[in-house]
Amino acid sequence: MKQETTQVLYGLYNDEEVLLHAVKKAKEDYLDIMDVYSPFPVHGLDNVLGLSESRIHVAGFIYGLIGALTAFLFMTWVFTRDWPIIFGGKPYFSAPSFIPITFEVTVLFASVGMVVTFYTICGMGPGVTNPTLDDRITDDKFCIAFDVNDANESQQSALRKFFDETGAEEVNVKTI
């Protein structure tokens, strides 16, 4: 866990459409946004922020593939090599009857794997506390935050001007 703290200059907006315009303007002015926070996912925000697409579904696919192979190959090994038993006169390698369990294990591995991956890469987990800028962000406020640790006076006032022009309701500084 990193102990270093950052000074953050953030502005709170009341509406997601105002937020989107503000983020667009910030990108146009080449301002380096640290993060944007909202009480719900804002559509269009990812594109405007230039966030790269999440590849969590790729991870999900790989986990699913591992699950499928694990289940199918295990059952095949059990019934062809380890202890072959004749069930209902069917062949030892009865692929059709292996399908239901293979499918279930695929879904299980994919889901559990993706969820664990999600919390890991987001730095979340049971009992984890991540610093938050304002309690109202999970209620009804939208926030753009800039890292101002190494910012001089003129850079800070430029950011404050940006917040003023784009209609931020409040502007604050916090160390997190």
Partner 1 sequence: MSAPISAIREPLITGSKSYHTITEDICGPTERTPTTAWVIAFIVAVTGLALYVFSVTWTIWVGIGSWNLNRTINWGWDITNFVWWVGIGHAGTLISAILLLFRQKWRTGVNRAAEAMTIFAVMCAGQFPLIHMGRLWLGFFIFPYPNTRGPLWVNFNSPLLWDVFAISTYFTVSLLFWYTGLVPDFATVRDRANGLRRKIYNFVSFGWTGSAKHWQRWESLSLVLAGLATPLVLSVHTIVSFDFATSVIPGWHTTIFPPYFVAGAIFSGFAMVQTLMIMTRKVLKLEDYITLEHIDSMNKVILATGSIVGVAYLTELFIAWYSGYIYEQFAFYNRVMGPYFWSYIGMMGCNVISPQIFWSKKMRRSILVTFFMSIFINIGMWFERFVIIASTLARDYLPSSWSYYSPTWVEVSLFIGTLGLFSTLYLVFMRVAPVVAVSEIKGILKTGGDQYVGPNASHGHSHHDSANH
Residues 6 or more apart whose Cβ sits within 8 Å of residue 110: 60, 61, 63, 64, 67
* DSSP structural state of residue 17: H
Binding to partner 1 by residue 13, rule CB under 8 A? no
Measured CA to CA, the distance from residue 74 to residue 99 in angstroms comes to 12
Binding to partner 1 by residue 90, rule CB under 8 A? yes
Binding to partner 1 by residue 87, rule CB under 8 A? yes
Q: Could you identify the residue written with the tokens 């459409």?
A: 17
Binding mask 94-133 for partner 1 (x = CB under 8 A): x--xx-xx-xxx-xx-xxx-xx--xx-xxxxxxxxxxxx-
From candidates 51, 73, 158, 173, binder to partner 1 by CB under 8 A: 51
Q: Which is nearer to partner 1, 100 or 157 (CB)?
A: 100
Closest to 166 in 3D by CA, of 45, 21, 9: 21
From candidates 40, 81, 152, 175, binder to partner 1 by CB under 8 A: 40
**What CA–CA distances, in Å, run from 1 to 4, 130, 148?**
9, 11, 21
From candidates 82, 89, 154, 175, binder to partner 1 by CB under 8 A: 82
Binding to partner 1 by residue 69, rule CB under 8 A? no
DSSP 39-57: SSPPTTHHHHHTPPPP-HH
Residues 16, 142: contact at Cβ < 8 Å?
yes
Q: Enter the tokens of residue 176.
A: 């997190």
Residues 33, 145: contact at Cβ < 8 Å?
yes
Binding to partner 1 by residue 169, rule CB under 8 A? no
Measured CA to CA, the distance from residue 93 to residue 149 in angstroms comes to 65
From candidates 137, 148, 151, 171, binder to partner 1 by CB under 8 A: 137
Q: Which is nearer to partner 1, 34 or 151 (CB)?
A: 34
By the criterion CB under 8 A, which residues form the site for partner 1?
20, 35-46, 49, 51, 54, 56-57, 60, 64, 74-75, 78-79, 82-83, 85, 87-88, 90, 94, 97-98, 100-101, 103-105, 107-108, 110-112, 114-115, 118-119, 121-132, 135-140, 143
